[in-house]
Structure 1
Amino acid sequence: MGIKEFMISFIFTSILLSILFIPTLLTKSFAGIRPSSFSGHPQASPFPVSFAYLISASKGDLESLKRTLCALYHPANYYLLHLDLEASHEERLSLLKFVSAHPIFSQVGNVWIVEKSNLVTYRGPTMLANTLHAMAMLLKTCKWDWFINLSASDYPLVTQDDLIHAFSSLPRDLSFIQHSSHLGWKMNKRAKPIIIDPGLYNLKKSELMWVTKHRTVPTAFKLYTGSAWMVLSRSFAEFCVVGWDNLPRTLLLYYTNFISSPEGYFQTVICNSKDFKNTTVNHDLHYIAWDSPPKQHPISLGLKDYRRLILSFAPFARKFKKDDPVLDKIDREILRRNDGQFTYGGWCSERGESNATCTGFGRHENSGVLRPGAGSRRLKALIVKLLSMRNFKRKQCR
């Protein structure tokens, strides 16, 4: 590819990604359930904090997506589901029917589906574009405290009551984002090569296009890398989408042609921002198992990993194969969740009830009752460790 063709493609893809910063255009992107009075007036929510989830899936992930949604569901939170363009029309229609016909989703009105799906190319910036798109929609639609991006192959290791209880005493500006400026092999393999993602202008996935000439490492900002999975504060999400500083847009243009940009964009933005670099907690709140040396994909988790999952104290883990037996064990022993039901919580239980049945509202649906358990204690222990003097400042944006 010549330099002329490259510049044309660069400008084109940059303009497409920049459109994401106009949230007024996003109101037509929802399908399924509209907000009810419960989620339409979040300031009246009886729960101390709330989370906005993006759960992404592709072709063949429908059942995993449904299971993950039910395991994560809580009336205090908001859920945006994205099936990319590779998924079939039948899968998309089935998901819409599942959400629309569910009595609790209809009553609360806090589950949405992205109607105009994006094509997400593996290792390309389209995954980053999809995340920013979701953040913009959720910022415009509802009030929440933290944004969490997950895939259909992720699964919770704590109940939502545990998560809400553990986060209720935290400063709202903290973001949990694993990061490092030590790029190592990624310097030559990711930072210097230039790629173009055809998914930005094609309707079908194809391999990334590589430019023969490499670029030098930038001097206007410092590069960071880390996990693509994170928990971001609302204030930082607003900074990335409608920020008063030009830094997010400048870095977006740079990362348009960066390999695996979701593993570097948010890290580089937050650590080069004087307003947010001191709000970073260097952890992605996930348990992920990797080969040694790490390969492109993490190891699929199974029953043999169950003890390590618990001892990690993390609230999420990935990745799991569809209907792996370890998921049944997590449901049974951690989430107290039966097949097709929600994770146990105070919002769906009667007073004194301790069984694993959660199909709808109990008598305390408007009182904000939480019933945290061992998962909350584990997560609080992890957070205390991460925020200790030994870890928080010393591991922050270095």
Structure 2
Amino acid sequence: MVAAPCARRLARRSHSALLAALTVLLLQTLVVWNFSSLDSGAGERRGGAAAGGAEQPPPAPAPRRERRDLPAEPAAARGGGGGGGGGRGPPARARGGGPGAPRVQQLASRGALASRALDPQPSPVITLETQDGYFSHRPKEKVRTDSNNENSVPKDFENVDNSNFAPRSQKQKHQPELAKKPPKGQKELLKRKLEQEDKGKGRPSPGKGTNEVQPPGERAMVNGSRGKDPPRQPPARKGGAGPELRSDQPLKCDISGKEAISALSRAKSKHCRQEIGETYCRHKLGLLMPEKVTRFCPLEGKANKNVQWDEDSVEYMLANPRIAFVLVVHGRASRQLQRMFKAIYHKDHFYYIHVDKRSNYLHRQVLQFAAQYSNVRVTPWRMATIWGGASLLSTYLQSMRDLLEMTDWPWDFFINLSAADYPIRTNDQLVAFLSRYRDMNFLKSHGRDNARFIRKQGLDRLFLECDAHMWRLGDRRIPEGIAVDGGSDWFLLNRKFVEYVTFSTDDLVTKMKQFYSYTLLPAESFFHTVLENSPHCDSMVDNNLRITNWNRKLGCKCQYKHIVDWCGCSPNDFKPQDFHRFQQTARPTFFARKFEAVVNQEIIGQLDYYLYGNYPAGTPGLRSYWENVYDEPDGIHSLSDVMLTLYHSFARLGLRRAEASLHAEGDNSCRYYPMGHPASVHLYFLADRFQGFLIKHHATNLAVSKLETLETWVMPKKVFKIASPPSDFGRLQFSEVGTDWDAKERLFRNFGGLLGPMDEPVGMQKWGKGPNVTVTVIWVDPVNIIAATYDILIESTAEFTHYKPPLNLPLRPGVWTVKILHHWVPVAETKFLVAPLTFSNRQPIKAEEALKLHSGPLRNAYMEQSFQSLNPVLSLPISPAQVEQARRNAASTGATLERWLDSLVGGVWTAMDICATGPTACPVMQTCSQTAWSSFSPDPKSELGPVKPDGRLR
């Protein structure tokens, strides 16, 4: 019986050891799970596919602290004026609460936040981007500056996953709205909604979306001068929609996938919701996607021909190849398009131009210059080619069919270009190269693991385009039997392969058109996949003859999430420092992208002079650039109330300048009365600097009572000011406020910063290199009410920071001030105008509307917390007389409102000059065509004239 106590002690020890081992194992499991969750969450926060709803903010990391000496008074009074990331988040999170609420707000990204050590209620300190990128402890992916995979999803987005139809291996730790379980009854509600819509006029066919074609009468007008019947109209979903669903063949299924449910809840039109439901059900029932496709390539693996090119060799074969250039263009940059067209034109080639159906101004300009040349035609149909949309592939396929049906155009190669492209070699060099490789097809492949490419491109996901949006509806399987390939959607194809893709009815082409009709970024993969699996597979060259300016740190910002349920990338614009890249000869390249004259025109000029030589000395307009933002045929419905209000004010500013500088005593010949709406508006740049707006407008000359057409140039005044005396803090270089911040090119797309009471301004700062610092940013409204205050932690390598404070609207009209302080010492300030509106819904504003829009936010509270105690510290007294004047201004309408508006506009804008576009009774008024600044002045670099003896325009 002696052994019993030993056995008990041994059992207790074993039990304790087992508990200790289990505890250690549990802790290890928790640590591993925690780190994997953080890693997965970080990856998904970087690239969470926008399948619906906004991304949730990440957990706040440990705050950094910077010791600072603060005035005693604001220490207790300040609030966390900052808030969510660049946008307006849920109020409780974005604006903070009362004293008990957390004072540090989180960005909707991965930026770290810091709080001040000595402030009992500190303002939020925002660790913003370094060169507009976020810090990460992961190894950085090597930047491939000349990668040609045009829109591929960056590495950070690989772990993004939202599955519907099949289980996937990856955890979904951090999903947008769709990761949440649908509220109870939401599926039934959506089903009832669709069933009620089915009782209407029947189901529209899924092929017909926003891309309606023009009526036949308009088609005939476009190409009627060619002496040839125009090509037939393209079907709405060319080559891929399958049999149309008739209303007497309804497909019913349980719509259970969270992505499809989200798409149905977000789609605005009845037609789009029906199409989403039909597509989802057809896919769920196995009626939509091909399961197996036949491969016709006799080769094993991937064929890739290597091509060589000697830059000095310009040899021709007996018959030079002739190229069909397909230009797919959109926007309003008509002068940049004409300059590019001028550079690529040759009488031996053919030019087929498609203008986005939403770009009517550009379409009018293209029709005008296309009529001058017999080898230029404009598509009689137009589509809305959204980023990543299936409509872009439809545009290319229909263009190919049209070109093949034009029997009077004997072309040999198909090249697609946009207005953002520019040649980097001459036409002679391109023709000589293609003469040697007449049977080749030039496409750039992704050059990476195929499974990884499929995952990053979303090829294993089902997408549908409708309502000018790409909706993600769930997962799908890649068809068996073929190798899927892809890369850049810019390519050069020979006629033989184009005929095969267009007219073949074999299993490969037919099923691939069906598969890619429901694919994100289909043009980046369709032609690669068909070619690699077709009888023409031995003609593939892994080079699309382009240089693309990739900077994924700036270009991969999920900037297209508002039009596609996915995250993607876009190339950056070239700058002068990139010119050396065009001179490389390691591989054949003939075109480069992207170029954008509103960002940098100098690089376009450098290329142009490099290829074709300098213009003669004294040529006008070489450093100037004009871009139209409004044209009278667009109609004023195309303008916002803010734009219409300010364009009218700019015109009146010009008339006052004419009266002040041109008017002689007792002579009314240079006095005018404004008439009607502005006729056109242009942006004006000189030496790549924004110079203001050019307003073409009508006015009655009071001396002769005749209508004249004038153009006024208004320029913004300098509103950024360094503190005087300057502080010891020298990192800040510039600060600006605006809207439409472009994080890729790091500028405001709202040139001139035209803001109204309902806009949400963004504050931007540009920094030089230096030590880590924290600065305080304070927003002050026109009556000295402090609207917001927050701190920003500036990393040592940061170049730009930008932040949009979540202010309550409407903003009080007038001149606002944004102050930047370091240790409570003023560093600099900038001002911006919030314009009172003279128009509401393009009609003169009524008194009740004006009072509502121009009185500021309710109870003068731009945020939930007040910053009133900071006013004496910052020497910003609130004057009762000033507040009363603001109250009276808010109630004004008509001429009184216009006078108030014009006085504000005159404080931040200057009328630089005015000219007449036609006859004028003012004897000293200059003619616009004789000025250097007017949109009517000569612009030889973009003007198109007759074909020269060598067959060129340039």
Q: TM-score surpassing 0.5? A: yes
Deviation at 1:283, TM superposition (A): 0.5
Is this contact kept in 1: 2:423–2:590, CA < 8 A?
A: yes
- Could you give the per-residue CA deviations for residues 150-180 of structure 1, whole angstroms, max 9, x where no partner exists? 111001011112211222232x321001125
1:92 aligns with 2:357: no
Higher mean C-alpha displacement, 56-65 vs 249-258: 56-65
* Contact 1:29-1:116 at 8 Å conserved across structures: no
Per the alignment, do residues 29 and 235 of structure 1 end up closer, same or farther by CA in structure 2, a change over 3 Å counting? farther
Match of 1:76 in 2: 348
Q: Is the 8 A contact 1:34 1:112 kept in 2?
A: no
Matches within 5 A, 1:207-226: 207-211=469-473, 213-226=474-487
140, 148, 152: which is aligned to 2:405?
Answer: 140
Larger Rg: 2
Is the aligned partner of 1:304 residue 2:577?
yes
Aligned to 1:234: 495
Hey, what's the Cα distance between the residues in 1 that align with 2:428 and 2:530? 31
TM-score by structure 1 length? 0.70
Q: Higher strand fraction: Structure 1 or Structure 2?
A: 2
| Aligned partners of 2:330 and 2:362 also within 8 Å | no
Is 1:197 matched up with 2:465?
Answer: yes
Aligned equivalent of 1:155, options 411, 422, 427: 422
Q: Deviations over 1:86-111 (max 9, x none)?
A: 102x33222212222x3xx1xxx100
Structure 1 stretch displaced more, 331-340 or 60-69: 331-340
1:315 to 579, 590, 594: 590
Q: How far did residue 299 of structure 1 move?
A: 1.7
Opposite residue 326 of structure 1, the aligned amino acid is I
Shift of residue 251 of structure 1? 0.3
Q: Aligned to 1:165, which of 432, 441, 447?
A: 432
1:178 corresponds in structure 2 to 444
Q: Which residue of 2 aligns with 1:344?
A: none
Residue in structure 1 matching 2:520, options 259, 266, 269 = 259
Distance 1:182 1:74, change over 3 A: same
- Counterpart-to-counterpart distance in 1, 2:948 and 2:454: 54
Instruction: For 1:50, give the aligned amino acid.
Output: R
| Structure 1 residue 254, shift from structure 2 partner | 0.3
The aligned residue for residue 31 of structure 1 is 222
Residue 282 (structure 1) aligned to one of 542, 546, 570: 542
CA distance in 1, matches of 2:589, 2:516: 29
CA, structure 1 residues 47+110, in 2 after alignment: closer, same or farther (shift >3 Å)? farther
Say whether 1:246 aligns with 2:523: no
Separation in 2 of the partners of 1:264 and 1:29? Answer: 34
Counterpart secondary structure, 2:326: strand
Distance in 1 separating the partners of 2:375 and 2:221: 12
Question: CA 1:119/1:218 → structure 2, altered by over 3 Å: closer, same or farther?
Answer: same
More helix by percentage: 1
Q: What secondary structure sits across from 1:331 in the alignment?
A: helix
Q: Which residue of 1 aligns with 2:603?
A: 326
1:135 and 1:59 mapped to 2: Cα distance?
Answer: 23
- 2:352 maps to amino acid: L
Kindly indicate whether residue 564 of structure 2 is the aligned counterpart of residue 291 of structure 1: no
CA contact 1:182–1:224 (8 Å) conserved in 2: no
CA distance in 2, matches of 1:263, 1:167: 23
Deviation at 1:219, TM superposition (A): 1.1
3-state secondary structure, aligned to 1:191: coil
The one-letter amino acid of 1:59's match is G
Residues 364, 328 of structure 1: alpha-carbon distance in 2 compared, 3 angstrom cutoff: closer
TM-score by length of 2: 0.31
Q: Distance in 1 between matches of 2:220 and 2:327?
A: 15
Deviation at 1:359, TM superposition (A): 5.7
Contact persistence 1:32–1:99 (CA under 8 A): no
SS at match of 1:148: strand
* Residues in 1 aligned to 2:946 and 2:590: alpha-carbon distance in whole angstroms: 23
2:742 is aligned to: none
Contact 1:33–1:111 (CA<8 Å) still a contact in 2? no
Q: What is the rounded CA distance, in whole Å, between the counterparts of 1:182 and 1:145 in structure 2?
A: 33
Task: Find the aligned partners of 2:340 and 2:949 in 1 and give their Cα distance.
Answer: 26
Gaps spanning 5+ residues in structure 1: where?
17-24, 38-45, 341-355, 371-398
| TM-fit CA distance, 1:120 | 0.7
Q: Residues 53 and 79 of structure 1 are in contact (CA less than 8 Å); yes or no, is this contact kept in structure 2?
A: yes
Query: Is the alpha carbon distance of 1:315 and 1:147 closer, same or farther for their aligned partners in structure 2, counting shifts above 3 Å?
Result: same
Change (3 A) 1:34 1:221: farther
Q: State the Cα distance separating 1:249 from its structure 2 match.
A: 2.0
Q: Separation in 2 of the partners of 1:97 and 1:253?
A: 37
Work out the percentage of aligned pairs sharing the same amino acid.
Answer: 22
SS across alignment from 1:226: coil
Distance of 1:324 and 1:72 partners within structure 2: 18
Q: Give the CA deviation at 1:337.
A: 7.0
Letter in 1 for 2:364: L
Contact 2:440 2:540 (8 Å CA) reproduced: yes
Aligned to 1:376: none
Shift of residue 363, structure 1, vs aligned partner: 5.5
> Relative to structure 1, is the Cα distance of residues 11 and 174 closer, same or farther in structure 2, using a 3 angstrom cutoff?
farther
How many residues end up aligned between the 2 structures? 314
Change (3 A) 1:94 1:292: closer
State the structure with bigger RCO (CA 8 A, min sep 6), 1 or 2. 1
Deviation at 1:117, TM superposition (A): 1.1
Counterpart of 2:682 in structure 1 is none
1:264 aligned partner, one-letter code: S
Structure 1 residues 285 and 33, CA gap change in structure 2 (3 angstroms): farther
Question: CA separation in 2, counterparts of 1:229 and 1:279?
Answer: 17
Q: How far did residue 145 of structure 1 move?
A: 0.9
In the alignment, what sits opposite 2:379? 114
Q: Secondary structure at the match of 2:501?
A: helix
Change (3 A) 1:299 1:332: same
- 1:245 deviates by 2.5
The answer to whether the 8 A contact 1:51-1:148 is kept is yes
Return structure 1 stretches of 4+ with deviation > 4 angstroms.
27-30, 32-37, 337-340, 358-365
- When residues 253 and 185 of structure 1 are mapped into structure 2, their CA distance, relative to the original with a 3 A threshold, is same
Q: Determine the C-alpha separation between the residues in 2 that align with 1:246 and 1:336.
A: 51
Q: Deviations over 1:21-43 (max 9, x none)?
A: xxxx9x95782575589xxxxxx
Moved more, 132-141 or 238-247: 238-247
AA aligned opposite 1:122: W
User: Would the aligned equivalents of 1:157 and 1:314 in 2 still touch at CA under 8 Å?
Assistant: yes
CA distance in 2, matches of 1:30, 1:286: 35
